[in-house]
């Protein structure tokens, strides 16, 4: 809704934003009246808004700012590539040098077995692409009925029609007429909210695998094409799988000839203390989705990595309709590829995966020290610099808040007032941390101090409002 502005004075950006822009993942009626935070600059671990408020970015933007803000080397590479070749497409036989270098390097960095890369611009596009790749794979194998996808509750795979359908968060489906047909959901690895009958984590693994097997049998194994999972669920609450989970899932999938897609959009590129999270979790993917840390958010770029098992079938297609009719205007963008290469150079040079492992372990330890016996903190979990601090109405019984949206609102406000940005939850109250991977122990101490004050304040507010009852 355009508003009148006085050209002689600086525009009221907040007012203009409220009037003009539809923000995702906000309630639109609130967004149209609430304060807008106009971020203006950033450096290292911190971002600053147009009122001069500086925030410690504990969420790494949207879990994507891996090398930290203000990397001049990336800006220089981007400027040089803009000047030399600002754009060309990668359809047909066209390519560009930064892209070729990037693909070569990614296939060497990725878990064993990945042989081809498809490039896109977002994690959602990558997951949509996976669906098309898998459909084509089974069509070429003469199995037109093997088309369904199994995804998991609490998962987040993106916002496009297909990726939102894969996602297992109700808000992604409600009022959007999703999921699309052919997508079914199985249980998440939410040990904290496990049924009362479940004991040790190994029993939980068996419970989840039995559930998956029953779902496959119910749907008909000949109809199931692929299973998609985040190695560690991010947006859905930083859910770490119980021991042996992916090994056992893979055994079931292999038995039924079902492909395994690892959505490493958050977990890739050092976030969990290794280049990718899959190997340490015994997750052996047939396909992988990557985005976010690929460029540390400096450019929208994503990709799908294909194992030989899948790629060989696609490449063997000699039919007259063999055209792989898929791609986007920005697929394989030369500036994006140059930025990704510069980003990976920094990660390698500074061993950011190693730093994430080291500082992440320290941060988890400090958080556990700070919150031991805290009246609201139910669980602290994570790996590397991907950490969730979940709040419960009663941590001793793991009882969740009946009014969790209200408590989540209090938590997000308290963190904001402490000038600490964290990621929130959608069906629970959680402070999720995914800070830049160059974080130091001093940064970790600062996060603990600010989060500690914020959660203490929420505790007092919850008590005063009777929200733990």
Ligand X SMILES: Cc1ncc(COP(=O)(O)O)c(C=O)c1O
Residue (of 56, 38, 59) closest to 47 by Cα position: 56
DSSP string, 72-119: HHHHHHHHHHHHH-S----STT---HHHHHHHHHHHHHSSTTEEEEEE
Burial degree of 349 (CB within 10 A; 0-12, 13-18, 19+): exposed
State the nearest-atom distance from the C-beta of 159 to ligand X, in Å: 6
Smallest gap from Cβ 167 to ligand X, in A, equals 8
Residue among 217, 211, 237, 74 at smallest CA distance from 155 = 237
Residue that the structure tokens 């030989």 belong to: 308
Any idea what DSSP says for residue 275? S
Question: Phi and psi at residue 186, in whole multiples of 5°?
Answer: -115, 180
SS3 content of the chain, % helix, strand, coil (to 5): 40, 15, 40
Positions that interact with ligand X (CB under 6 A): 62, 122-124, 127, 156-159, 230, 234-235, 263, 265-266, 291
Q: Which is nearer to ligand X, 169 or 462 (CB)?
A: 169
Helices (runs of H) and strands (runs of E) counted in the chain: 14, 14
Smallest separation (angstroms) from ligand X to the CB of 168: 11
Query: Smallest distance from the beta carbon of 15 to ligand X, in angstroms?
Result: 28
- Contact yes or no for 458/415 (Cβ under 8 A): no
Q: Toward ligand X, which CB reaches closer, 266 or 288?
A: 266
Instruction: Name every residue whose Cβ is closer than 8 Å to that of residue 430 and which is 6 or more positions away in sequence.
Output: 237, 238, 388, 389, 390, 391, 408, 424
CB of 246 to ligand X, least distance (A): 15
Compare residues 387 and 414 and give the one whose CB is closer to ligand X. Answer: 387
- What is the rounded CA–CA span in Å between residue 201 and residue 207? 10
Least distance to ligand X from the beta carbon of 188, Å? Answer: 13
Min dist CB 68 to ligand X, Å, is: 19
User: Peptide bond before 179: cis, by omega within 30 degrees of 0?
Assistant: yes
Closest to ligand X by CB, 130 or 412: 130
Cβ atoms of 276 and 264 within 8 Å: the answer is yes
Minimum distance from CB of 232 to ligand X (Å)?
Answer: 9
- Cα–Cα distance, 147 to 222 (Å, whole number): 9
Q: Is 28 strand, coil or helix?
A: helix
Kindly tell me which of 274 and 393 has the beta carbon lying closer to ligand X. 274
Q: How far is CA 188 from CA 2, 149, 165, 219, in A?
A: 44, 15, 16, 18
Pick between residue 62 and residue 314 the one whose CB is nearest to ligand X.
62
Q: Closer to ligand X by CB, 266 or 376: give it.
A: 266
Q: Which residue's CB comes closest to ligand X?
A: 123
CB closer to ligand X, 339 vs 454: 339
Least separation in angstroms between CB 63 and ligand X: 6
Q: Which is nearer to ligand X, 393 or 422 (CB)?
A: 422
């Amino acid at each position: 809704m355009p508003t009148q502005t006085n050209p002689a004075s600086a525009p009221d950006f907040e007012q203009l934003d409220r009037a003009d822009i539809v923000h995702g993942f906000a309630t639109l009626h609130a967004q149209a009246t609430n304060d807008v935070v106009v971020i203006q600059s950033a450096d290292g671990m911190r971002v600053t808004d147009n009122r001069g408020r500086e925030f410690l970015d504990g969420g790494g933007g949207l879990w994507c700012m891996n090398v930290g803000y203000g990397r001049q080397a990336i800006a220089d590479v981007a400027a040089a590539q803009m000047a030399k070749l600002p754009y060309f497409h990668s359809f047909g036989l066209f390519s560009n040098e930064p892209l070729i270098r990037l693909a070569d390097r990614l296939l060497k960095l990725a878990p064993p077995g990945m042989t081809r890369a498809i490039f896109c611009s977002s994690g959602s596009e990558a997951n949509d692409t996976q669906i098309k790749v898998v459909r084509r794979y089974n069509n070429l194998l003469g199995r037109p009925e093997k088309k369904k996808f199994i995804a998991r509750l609490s998962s987040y795979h993106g916002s496009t029609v297909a990726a939102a359908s894969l996602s297992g968060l109700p808000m992604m489906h409600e009022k959007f007429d999703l999921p699309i047909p052919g997508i079914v959901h199985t249980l998440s690895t939410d040990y904290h909210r496990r049924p009362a009958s479940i004991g040790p984590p190994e029993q939980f693994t068996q419970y989840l695998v039995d559930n998956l097997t029953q779902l496959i049998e119910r749907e008909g194994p000949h109809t199931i094409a692929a299973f998609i999972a985040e190695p560690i669920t991010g947006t859905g609450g930083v859910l770490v799988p119980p021991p042996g989970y992916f090994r056992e899932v893979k055994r079931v999938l292999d038995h039924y000839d079902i492909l395994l897609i690892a959505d490493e959009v958050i977990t890739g590129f050092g976030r969990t203390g290794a280049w990718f999270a899959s190997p340490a979790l015994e997750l052996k993917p047939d396909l992988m989705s990557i985005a976010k840390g690929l460029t540390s958010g400096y450019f929208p770029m994503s990709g799908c990595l294909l194992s030989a098992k899948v790629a060989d079938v696609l490449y063997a297609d000699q039919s007259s309709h063999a055209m792989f009719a898929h791609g986007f205007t920005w697929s394989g963008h030369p500036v994006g590829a140059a930025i990704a290469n510069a980003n990976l150079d920094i990660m390698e040079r500074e061993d950011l995966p190693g730093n994430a492992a080291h500082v992440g372990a320290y941060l988890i330890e400090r958080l556990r020290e700070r919150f031991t016996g805290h009246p609201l903190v139910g669980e602290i979990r994570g790996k590397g610099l991907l950490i969730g601090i979940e709040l419960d109405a009663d941590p001793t019984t793991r009882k969740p808040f009946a009014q969790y949206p209200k408590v989540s609102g209090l938590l997000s406000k308290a963190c904001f007032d402490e000038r600490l940005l964290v990621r929130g939850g959608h069906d629970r109250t959680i402070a999720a941390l995914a800070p830049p991977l160059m974080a130091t122990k001093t940064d970790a101490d600062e996060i603990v101090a600010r989060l500690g004050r914020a959660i203490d304040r929420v505790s007092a507010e919850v008590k005063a409002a009777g929200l733990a009852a």
